[in-house]
Structure 1
């Protein structure tokens, strides 16, 4: 039960952070609603689960992080229908917001969510 609660809290926090990041980076006509961003966070959690399974079978070391980062930015690019720079901007701003949230909540582990 605690796993489900933890998953839901992580999903909601991630969605809010991504939603805020896209509000900061994107022009108004490209922004998505919170439900769309919640769906994005859910889809990304599935992708992350699959990637972690693949990387447990085929460890790639440092390349794993690079692959995940490129895939994450590509997912953002596709979801928001923007260019690579705007997608990278959303990712960077979301990461910074998550650092701040994690610092104030005393939850440094939150920084690895996005």
Structure 2
């Protein structure tokens, strides 16, 4: 099992080149390693916000004078696709890159915020 610290230790002390994420994804313990946001510096594309998923968790890491874990989604007894989807929703922050599924509330949302289902008196 690969922990968060081991993953972040592979990153340089700067925004990570997106090619390095592709290399990281080739590691057998890494399911996914993708940039969430990327910018071009000269001929290199680098990312300051990444999503890395292993069998045990998905993390959203952010670079700001060093790499830190912004969000962690535990994968215990969950489908890897479900874990990835939740991590992507958390990774987007205030941006609307991924819509949450209608049948699943977003973590931390109240019932009224997470469901548009209306009950009728017709029973």
Structure 2 length normalisation: TM-score?
0.28
Higher relative contact order (CA 8 A, sep 6+): 1
Q: Could you say which structure has the larger radius of gyration?
A: 2
Structure with the largest fraction of strand: 2
Structure with the bigger percentage of helix:
1
